[in-house]
Amino acid sequence: MKVIWLGHGSFRIETEAQVLLVDPWLTGNPVLPEESHEAAIAGATHILLTHVHFDHVVDVLPLAKRLGVPVVGQYDLMGLWAETEGVETVGFNKGGTVDLNGVKVSMVPASHSSTFSTPEGLRTGGSEVGFMIRAEGKTVYLSGDTDIMADMDWMGDYYKPDVGILSAGGHFTMDMKATAYAAKRYFNFKTVIPCHYKSFPILEQSAQELIEGLPGVEVIEPEVMKAIEL
């Protein structure tokens, strides 16, 4: 399995002959060079969406149409898009699991918000979620944008993820200290990859506090477009 950070909360995950784009943000992404855009999306088989804030959703529909791949996300929004946008979707909800050609993806709660602006005002696009991704004998918890939450207790106990891809930049999500606390209290990770940081000055720029807070856990600070082998 290869995990490739596209900056901010966006990832490319290559596993079981599938290429999953998670919240792919190309347009305006301050840390993903334009010359890397094509390599970032090449061979994609599915797009996973955690919520509809612009820095997660702005490129989802254009990419789904251009690449001819399904969008995987919350049932309500996926149903709307299938009817109105002419894209293939896989809609499910929290507690559900879908099989993406051998890669099993379970939808789990997150604690954030999921709104977007329209000429008529603010609208809600479902609710914010995370994913448990199971492939190649590994379980990866991709938190999406979230704070610490009590649901992490049962999620860690039930799914037993060994890899955590965790929002950790602060201001909009957990910061490094809070992420270390959540990882230590609720999970037994072998590997932790922080995200949703470095992309803006308002966010944390270093994972050092996370590294120091998780002795015995491999904390990997991702580099944009550089594969992490799991």
Q: Which has the closest alpha carbon to 147: 186, 111, 180, 181?
A: 111
- The first and second tokens of residue 12, run together, are 């490319």
- The first and second tokens of residue 5, run together, are 């950070």
Q: What are phi and psi of 46, to 5 degrees?
A: -150, 155
In sequence order, the 6+-apart residues with CB closer than 8 A to the CB of 203 are 169, 170, 171, 172, 196, 197
pLDDT at 225: 98
| CATH number of residue 90's parent domain | 3.60.15.10
Helices and strands, number each (H, E), in the chain? 7, 16
- Is residue 107 in some structural domain? yes
Instruction: Report pLDDT digits (tens) over 157-198.
Output: 999 999 999 999 999 999 999 999 999 999 999 999 999 999
- Is residue 230 in some structural domain? no
Instruction: Report pLDDT digits (tens) over 111-157.
Output: 999 987 888 888 888 899 999 999 999 999 999 999 999 999 999 99
Q: What number is the average pLDDT over the span 46-61?
A: 96
What is the share, in percent, of the chain residues with pLDDT greater than 70? 100
47, 70 contact by CB (below 8 A): yes
- Is residue 132 in some structural domain? yes
Number of compact structural domains in the chain: 1
Q: What are phi and psi of 34, to 5 degrees?
A: -60, -35
- The first and second tokens of residue 144, run together, are 């999406």
- Is residue 228 in some structural domain? no
107, 134 contact by CB (below 8 A): no
pLDDT at 1: 97
pLDDT at 120: 84
pLDDT at 125: 81
How many CB atoms lie under 10 A from the CB of residue 32?
A: 22
- Is residue 10 in some structural domain? yes
- The first and second tokens of residue 32, run together, are 């993903």
pLDDT at 211: 98
- The first and second tokens of residue 51, run together, are 């919520």
- Is residue 46 in some structural domain? yes
Distance separating alpha carbons of residues 33 and 35, to the nearest angstrom: 5
Distance separating alpha carbons of residues 196 and 160, to the nearest angstrom: 23
Least confident span in 7-21, 62-76, 116-130, 209-223: 116-130
In sequence order, the 6+-apart residues with CB closer than 8 A to the CB of 158 are none
What domain range is 127 assigned to? 2-223
pLDDT at 126: 84
pLDDT at 115: 86
Average pLDDT value for the chain: 96
- Is residue 116 in some structural domain? yes
**pLDDT for residue 59 is more than 90:** yes
**pLDDT for residue 13 is more than 90:** yes
- Is residue 22 in some structural domain? yes
